Amino acid sequence: MGYGSLNGVSMAPSMQDLAADARSLGALKAGADKATPETIRETAKQFESLFMRELIKSMREATMKSGMLDNPGSDLGTDLLDQQFSVAMSGQPGGLSDLISQQLARQMGVEMPGNGANSDNTPVAVKAPDSLTSKTGADKLTASDAALTPVKTKKAPTATQAEFVAKHSETANKIEKATGIPASFMLGQAGHETGWGRHQIRNKDGSNSFNLFGIKAGASWTGKVAEITTTEYVNGVAQKKVAKFRAYASFEDSFKDYARLISDSPRYSKAKEQTKSVTAYASGLQKAGYATDPEYAAKLSRAINTTLQLRRAQVQV
C-alpha cells in the first residue's frame, strides 16, 4: 500500500503499529512485564491509537452515505485508512498518550525521563532551565550550601527536580535564616516526600493541602486535616493505611511548621545537631522515627545531594 500525506498528517509507516495487528500486539505483550519508561510510553500510544480509531469510526458512522460507492471493498479500504490515521495522530507531544503515560507511571512507581524536561532531554546539571538562571535572591548559595559538598548521584538531576527546587528556594532560604536548618535539607526532604511536587497531599475537595513534608495530624494539631491512603512500613513490610495529615494555607506555612517541629521537638534534637552532614542528618531523622520506611535515610540523603547539586548549578550558570 502506498503512503502519502493528507491534510498535513504524514501517512508514512512508522515503528508504531496499531495493537490490532497481531505482530505488534505480540511485541507489546512481550514487553508488558518490563515496567520501563519505553514500555509505558508505547502502551500509552497504543491506547491513544485505539481511542482515535473508535473516534474516527463514530464520525464516519454519523456521516450520511451515498450508497453508490458503498461496498465491502471500499469499506475495507476506508477502515485501513482510518487505522493509519489513528496511528499517525497518536503520540503527539501534549496529547492523550502523555497523560496516560503519566498516570501509568504513577501507578507503577516508574519515573518517566523528560517530565517537564527540555525537549532535547539535556540533564539539568549540564543545561539548566530558565527558572534556574533568574537573578533573584533564591539563586545565591546559603552559608550551609557553601559548607556542604554534595555527593554526586548516579542519575543527573531532572528538570522536574530543578523546577521544584527553584520554586521553593526563596522560602527555604528565609526559613534557614530564621532557624539554622539548611535550605537544601528542607528542599530535599520536601522533594522526596512529594515526588518533587508530583504527588502532593490533597484535601477532600481536591485542593492542595500544601503539606510538603508529610507531617501527620496528631492529637495536638488543631488546624485543618487532609485524610489520605498512605504507605506505612510495619516490621519492614509495606502496608496501605488511611492517615490524617496537617493541611496549611500556603507552602511557606508548611516550611515554618516543619522547622518548628525539628527545632522544638526533643525527639529530633540530635538530628538538628547534625546539620553539617547530609547522611548524619538523614540518619538522625530516621532513628527518631520521622518515617517508617527502613530505607528512608538513604533515599533522603540522595534527595538532599540532588538538591545541593541543583543549587550549586544555579550560581554557576
* Residues with active-site annotation: 232, 257
d(CA 213, CA 220): 17
C-alpha cell at 303: 534527595
Largest CA distance in the chain: 86
* Residue 117 backbone dihedrals phi, psi, to 5 degrees: -85, 175
* Residue 95 backbone dihedrals phi, psi, to 5 degrees: -90, -170
d(CA 142, CA 275): 13
Three-state SS letters, 111-179: CCCCCCCCCCCCCCCCCCCHHHHCCCHHHCCCHHHHHCCCCCCCCCCCHHHHHHHHHHHHHHHHHHHHH
C-alpha cell at 293: 520506611
* β-strand partners of 231: 240
Task: Give the CA distances from residue 177 to residues 164, 294, 310, in Å, rounded to whole numbers and listed in that order.
Answer: 20, 31, 20
**Nearest Cα residue to 40 out of 116, 94, 91:** 91
**Nearest Cα residue to 290 out of 269, 312, 313:** 269
Which residues have CB under 8 Å from 253's CB, separation 6+?
210
Chain position carrying cell 485542593:
207
d(CA 64, CA 60): 8
d(CA 242, CA 315): 42
